[in-house]
Chain A
Amino acid sequence: MWDYSEKVKDHFLHPRNVGEIENPDAVAEVGNITCGDALKLTLRIDKATQRILDARFQTFGCASAIASSSAVTEMIKGMTLDQAAKLSNDDIADFLQGLPEAKMHCSVMGMEALEKAIAAYRHETLAVAEGTVVCRCFGVTDQLIEKVIREHGLTTIEQVTHYCKAGGGCGGCHKEIQKIIDHVNAKPATGKAVAASPAAQKRPLTNLERVKRIEEVVEREIRPWLRNDGGDIEIIDIDRAKVTVALRGTCSNCRVSQFTLKSVVEQKLRELVDETIHVEQVA
Chain B
Amino acid sequence: MPNVVYLDNNATTAVAPEVLEAMLPYLRESYGNPSSIHTFGGLVMNRISEAREALARLLGAHPSEIIFTSCGTESDSTAILSALATLPDRRHVVTTRVEHPAVRTLCRHLHDTQGLRLTEVGVDHQGRLDMDQYRAAVDDETAVASVMWANNETGVIFPVEECAAIARDHGALFHTDAVQAVGKVPINLANSAIDFLSLSGHKLHAPKGVGALFVRRGTRFSPFLLGGHQESNRRAGTEAVPNLVALGRAADLVLANLDKENTAVAALRDRLERELLARCPDAKVNGDSAHRLPNTTNISFEFIEGEAILLLLDQHGICASSGSACTTGSLEPSHVLRAMGVPFTAAHGSIRFSFSIYNTAADVDKVIEVLPGIVRRLREISPFGRK
* A interface residues, Cβ below 8 angstroms from B: 1-2, 12-13, 15, 18, 29, 33-40, 58-63, 65-66, 102, 137-138, 161, 165, 168-169, 229-230, 249-250, 253-256
Contacts and interface: CB of A to CB of B under 8 A. Distances in A.
B338 A58 contact: no
Interface in B323-338: 324-327, 329-333, 338
B177 interface: no
Contacts of A1: 314
A255 B343 CA distance: 7
Main DSSP-derived SS at the B contact region: loop
Given A33-B348, A61-B326, A161-B331, A66 B381 contact: yes
Nearest to B125: A253
Given A37-B305, A60-B304, A66-B381, A254 B343 contact: yes
B341 interface: yes
A18 B380 contact: yes
B305 A61 contact: yes
Contacts of B306: 62
Contacts of A29: 383
Interface of B: 97, 122, 303-308, 311-312, 314-315, 324-327, 329-333, 338-339, 341, 343-345, 348, 380-384
B331 A34 contact: no
A39 B305 CA distance: 13
B305 A65 contact: yes
Contact of B311 (A12, A39, A137): A12
Given A61-B305, A165-B331, A34 B381 contact: no
A165 to B, nearest CB: 5
Contacts of B311: 12, 63
Given A34-B345, A59-B382, 10 more contacts: A12-B311, A34-B344, A39-B383, A59-B381, A61-B308, A62-B307, A138-B331, A168-B331, A230-B97, A230-B338
B333 A62 contact: no
A62 B381 contact: no
Given A58-B382, A66-B308, A36 B325 contact: yes
Contacts of B344: 33-36, 256
Contacts of B307: 2, 62-63
Query: Which of A34, A65, A169, A230 has most chain B Cβ within 10 Å?
Result: A230
Given A36-B333, A38-B384, A12 B338 contact: no
A13 B311 CA distance: 9
12 contacts: A13-B312, A18-B380, A36-B325, A36-B333, A60-B384, A61-B308, A63-B311, A169-B331, A230-B339, A249-B122, A250-B338, A254-B341
A58 B383 contact: yes
